[in-house]
Chain A
Amino acid sequence: MLILTCPNCGVTGEETEFHAGGEAHLKRFGPGSSDGEFETYLFMRENPKGVHFERWRHVYGCGKWFHAARCTTTLEVFGTYSAQVTEPPKEIRDTISEKRPGWTWRDFA
């Protein structure tokens, strides 16, 4: 089971107090984009084995969204961070590099 700390209210809880919101840091392609871009935005996901970035919502708590970095094989949570960013902050990436040297996810490493 995942243990997540909500960066909005500071509560550390187990995953049933939260709700997963899918893959993080998607760039939206809407009206005016090509069919290929729109299809990629809607359907193409990393689905990695290992380091992953996701959106979560503290649904039974403060109600706010945030981001989480975790490992899909061990369920280790590397850290949680603000929903108001478009890429993982440096301290989160550094933490992952210590624990999973050589990791990559999309264009991040």
Chain B
Amino acid sequence: MSNAISALNGATWAEGIAAVTEAPMQGMITLRGPLSDAKLKKAATTVAGVDMPGAGQAHVADDRGLCWMSPDELLVLCPYDDVAANTETMQSHLGDLHSLCVDVSDARAVFDLSGPHAREVLAKLVPVDMAPDQFTPGMFRRTRMAQVPAAFWMHDSDTIRIVCFRSQAQYVFDLLTTAAQPGSAVQIF
């Protein structure tokens, strides 16, 4: 097995109004099926170690968690090296339930956008109200970041964790660093 590295090999940039850091490899499992089904809930919460999130919510603690992707889809986060074992565990809980459970870790890239101006840097790129009283911790949002799909949540009070497709990692890194150029603060929030 070759040594897995992230799309930009941990690129970081901290010369602007917010810091951009590519996160290390993050285990991600797409789980599709009826989210209200007890078997599915058991499969998801057992490997993620958190409660089921409601619509539009994410329950994430460090590198484990559950993100609500759509009415029939969850994104399960876990340590990268645990993905194969966790997928097996999930499949054993799912049994014959009509569902899908697949490793998507290598199809994604993850970035942390941090600092007091993180919200307004992201607000330049997404059609989402990033005001602190509108986009709150615990919320999970899939949307468009400039020209590519992205999803994000508040990982802590001034860090936003962003997930995008791996093939678009350089584009997203360039977007974030451009939007965070020195002197570009809007001071809107």
In the complex formed, the residue of B with least CB distance to A62 is B70
**In the docked arrangement, what's the CA distance between A63 and B141, Å?**
13
Q: Which residues of chain A are within 8 angstroms of B69 by Cβ–Cβ distance?
A: 62
Query: Does B70 contact A63, Cβ atoms closer than 8 Å?
Result: yes
B9 contacts partner chain A, Cβ-Cβ < 8 Å: no
How far is A82 from B71 in the complex, measured between Cα atoms in Å?
Answer: 13
Residues in B with CB closer than 8 Å to A14 are 127
B127 touches A10 (CB 8 A): no
Task: Please give me the residue from chain B that is nearest to A18 by CB atom.
Answer: B144
A35, B141: Cα distance in complex, Å: 46
Q: Which of B71, B127, B128 contacts A62 (CB 8 A)?
A: B71
Cα–Cα distance between A13 and B144 once the two chains are bound (Å): 10
Counting contact residues on chain B (CB < 8 A from A), the size range is 10 to 19
Cα A62 to Cα B70 in complex, Å, equals 5
- From 116 to 160 in chain B, residues with beta carbon under 8 angstroms from any chain A beta carbon are 127-128, 141-144, 149
Number of A-B residue pairs with CB-CB distance less than 8 Å in the complex they form: 34
Chain B 20-32 per-residue mask, 1 if CB under 8 angstroms from chain A, else 0 = 0000000000000
Asked whether A11 lies within 8 Å of B127 as measured between CB atoms, the reply is no
**Cβ contact within 8 Å between B143 and A9:** no
Chain B contacts with A in 142-186, Cβ cutoff 8 A: 142-144, 149
Q: Which residues of B contact A22 (CB under 8 A)?
A: none
**Which of B73, B141, B149 contacts A11, CB < 8 Å?**
B141
CB neighbours of B73 from chain A (8 A): 62
Whether the Cβ atoms of B56 and A11 lie closer than 8 Å is: yes
Determine if B11 is an interface residue (Cβ-Cβ < 8 Å): no
Minimum CB–CB distance for A29 against chain B, Å: 31
Q: CB within 8 Å of B: which residues of A?
A: 8-11, 13-14, 16-17, 60-64
B residues whose Cβ falls under 8 Å from a Cβ of A? 55-56, 69-71, 73, 127-128, 141-144, 149
